[in-house]
Structure 1
């Protein structure tokens, strides 16, 4: 399984990576990007099974990344989970309309991420 973790915070990328490893995945199974631009570059080079992205990032934010993934390239059907502090109903609806498969509000725990991952990977 190939996982792409996108967040401008290196600490948050490390936390998400640690949770992913707690769920049984290895470090070799995921890549990291600090913004949507770098994520898009990785997406053009590698086939991922799931994308975990933040919303608020420089250069290209997570919402714009989701829109780009859904409209271009070979990841249009790849499950995307947005992990963000943007927890308002309006933001959730906006993200879902843009094409995210699920949504996690920070802070979160391993159980929440496991449930969301299991949910989108079973579809």
Structure 2
């Protein structure tokens, strides 16, 4: 949802890598966007952020691929297991997920203030 703050996450990553990485978005993450949209339908700010995030993903749909593995698990568990199985890096600002990823030796990338890319376990 960082696009709401005028931060382009795909572009930030592309600037840091010497190649164009493949982006994957878990089906459960997309489902969470829909759930949050309905849950916070009375909050203009949150629904605006969610709408912009969905529109961003639609505009850049050729840049990413949906992945649907371990979908019987809670979202964070599914992300961790999928990342381990496929050797992926998780791009998140969720503090709890970042800590769990570190404990499970899953590489992470996150955004700091002003859209600065912060990495953990991965040199970019």
Same fold (TM over 0.5): no
TM-score category, normalised to shorter length: 0.3 to 0.5
